[in-house]
Amino acid sequence: MKQSVIVIGSGITGVSCAEELRRSGAKVTLIDRVAAGDPSQTSYGNAGILAREGIMPIANPSMLKMIPQILLSPNSPIYLKWSYLTKFSPWAVKFIMNGTRPKALPIILALNELLYDTVENHIQLSKNTDAARFIQKGDMTFLYRNRKQFTTDTFANQARRDLGISWDELSRDKLLDRDPHISKLYQFGLAYKNHGWITNPAAYVSNLAKHFQKNGGKILIGEVSKINGNNVELKDSTILKAESIVLATGAWSKSLAMQLGHNIPLQAERGYHLSLKNASQMPPNTYLITDKKFALTPMDGFLRCAGQSEFAPLEMPPNPKAIKNLRKFLFRLYPKLEYETETIWQGTRPTLPDSLPMIGRSSKNTSVIFAFGSQHLGLTMGPKIGKMVRDIIFERQSNINMKPYSSDRFD
Ligand SMILES: Cc1cc2nc3c(=O)[nH]c(=O)nc-3n(C[C@H](O)[C@H](O)[C@H](O)COP(=O)(O)OP(=O)(O)OC[C@H]3O[C@@H](n4cnc5c(N)ncnc54)[C@H](O)[C@@H]3O)c2cc1C
């Protein structure tokens, strides 16, 4: 008899879980209120970076030092509406407490576990599917105003060195050899090796879902209103039943988890993108522009500029200033940039105060497995989370320490 599983959420996390479970022989139904690759998913519009280097928790010793500067700057890449401050404060306190050195070190190790083999995991997940053509291997370059900006971040540099993340230093001349259009503002770079990116994140997720369906997986469009024991109840009153239920609903996971009795401090963290069709200047690989904390990715026919971190409730309308800032920052890098058309987008990252996702059985309903909270790195870690969820459901032995990701770590 096949193990039956319902996966709720068809973003990169849910699709990865569903496909890994299907390949292992489970009878899987993937439910979402929208189709995989829909613009309302966070997986639709991200920067596409497979960020093997992304081991630093969002709150970390270097970031804590910069908080006053970040909050007072009118063009800060981090934004908080003052009217939201009172509601946001309890989360912010938990977040800041996780940024101290003793707290950050174990988080770094737990993040590394989810990131170190990302490119390989994506290759395995997309093998023999139409999604494979969107994977590109290559460096990831951090751009700095000068070398000092890089050397002063001693905590992050040491952590990356300790974990064997290697890089080449790029002088201004070396940067220009790779990309002659970079403005004078950026005089120094680091090229992280063994990275990669997805050249169209929406099409990637959509093709993975199609492959899943073509090979026996079931896809249902519907909104889940409740999980009750082994039952999943939809808004239209349909009730579905399975032995295991995977909750992979990204930034929307809090209310469903709450019905199970969990009070999880999941915060919606907005981000934006600007995608420019047929841009005259394309970087040779992905960039992180470190002073303004935005990413630039050469995609399939367009240049994507993505970033901004806005702590806001899910229902708050987009902030027009965020896109204005992205455009301004981009033109400071490529002053002569031209392009045909532009599209803008906003998405919501699911972020927990310790920057780690929640992966594991719910302690209140052991038929439910949590798989959400992958903050800025959900595309990078999606396939790994898929494998971990598969191993939990099939009770396979794993040498990963699951404690840092547990569902009751904030209780
Ligand atoms: C601007 C920006 C840039 C980013 N860049 C990168 C990057 O370069 N690299 C990287 O690794 N990550 C990046 N990220 C983060 C990454 O996009 C997210 O972590 C990831 O997409 C989360 O995937 P998910 O599947 O968990 O959630 P989602 O993709 O949001 O999917 C959740 C799904 O759950 C469904 N759902 C919710 N509630 C219900 C319900 N009740 N019933 C049915 N369905 C429901 C939703 O419809 C949705 O389809 C970026 C994010 C942003 C915003």
Give residue-wise pLDDT tens across range 18-44. Answer: 999 999 999 999 999 999 999 999 999
Report whether residue 219 contacts ligand 1, using a CB cutoff of 6 Å. Answer: no
Specify the CATH number of the domain 4-45+202-264+355-405: 3.50.50.60
Query: Count of alpha carbons within 13 Å of 329, Cβ hemisphere only?
Result: 27
The CA 188 to ligand 1 mean position distance, Å, reads 32
pLDDT confidence of residue 154 = 92
Predicted confidence band of residue 46 (pLDDT cuts 50, 70, 90): very high
Element (H, E) at 191: strand 188-198
Task: Give the pLDDT confidence of 241-282 residue by residue, as tens digits.
Answer: 999 999 999 999 999 999 999 999 999 999 999 999 999 999
Give CB contacts under 8 A, 24+ apart, made by 233-242.
Answer: 234/31, 240/6, 240/29, 240/31, 241/4, 242/4, 242/5, 242/6, 242/29, 242/367
The CA 61 to ligand 1 mean position distance, Å, reads 27
Task: Give the pLDDT confidence of 347-393 residue by residue, as tens digits.
Answer: 999 999 999 999 999 999 999 999 999 999 999 999 999 999 999 99
Give CB contacts under 8 A, 24+ apart, made by 229-234.
Answer: 229/365, 229/367, 230/367, 232/6, 232/8, 232/31, 234/31
pLDDT confidence of residue 74 = 64
Which of the listed residues 141, 247, 249, 358 should we mutate to test ligand 1's pocket, taking the one with most ligand atoms within 8 A of CB? 249
pLDDT confidence of residue 72 = 64
Task: Give the pLDDT confidence of 311-326 residue by residue, as tens digits.
Answer: 989 988 888 899 999 9
Predicted confidence band of residue 71 (pLDDT cuts 50, 70, 90): low
Does the structure show a pLDDT above 80 at 239? Answer: yes
Beta strands 49-50; 188-198: pairing state: antiparallel
- 98-102, 297-301, 332-336: lowest mean pLDDT where? 98-102
Report whether residue 250 contacts ligand 1, using a CB cutoff of 6 Å. Answer: yes
Would you list the domain boundaries of the chain? 4-45+202-264+355-405, 64-112+135-196+266-351
- Per-residue pLDDT averaged across 92-121, rounded? 95
Task: Give the pLDDT confidence of 166-210 residue by residue, as tens digits.
Answer: 999 999 999 999 999 999 999 999 999 999 999 999 999 999 999
Predicted confidence band of residue 63 (pLDDT cuts 50, 70, 90): confident
**Average pLDDT value for the chain:** 95
Does the structure show a pLDDT above 80 at 47? Answer: yes
The CA 336 to ligand 1 mean position distance, Å, reads 33
Report whether residue 383 contacts ligand 1, using a CB cutoff of 6 Å. Answer: no
CATH architecture, domain 64-112+135-196+266-351 = 2-Layer Sandwich (3.30)
Of ligand 1's listed atoms, the one at least distance from the Cα of 269 is 53
Helix spans in 318-366 (H): 320-333
- Cα–Cα distance measured from residue 410 to residue 355, given in angstroms and rounded to the nearest whole number: 13
Percent of the chain with pLDDT over 90: 88
pLDDT confidence of residue 51 = 98
Which of the listed residues 43, 49, 135, 254 should we mutate to test ligand 1's pocket, taking the one with most ligand atoms within 8 A of CB? 43
Does the structure show a pLDDT above 80 at 73? Answer: no
Q: Return the closest-CA partner of residue 37 out of 161, 189, 187, 219.
A: 219
- 84-93, 142-151, 323-332: lowest mean pLDDT where? 84-93
Three-state DSSP class for residue 288: strand
Does the structure show a pLDDT above 90 at 66? Answer: no
pLDDT confidence of residue 83 = 81
Percent of the chain with pLDDT over 70: 98
Report whether residue 198 contacts ligand 1, using a CB cutoff of 6 Å. Answer: no
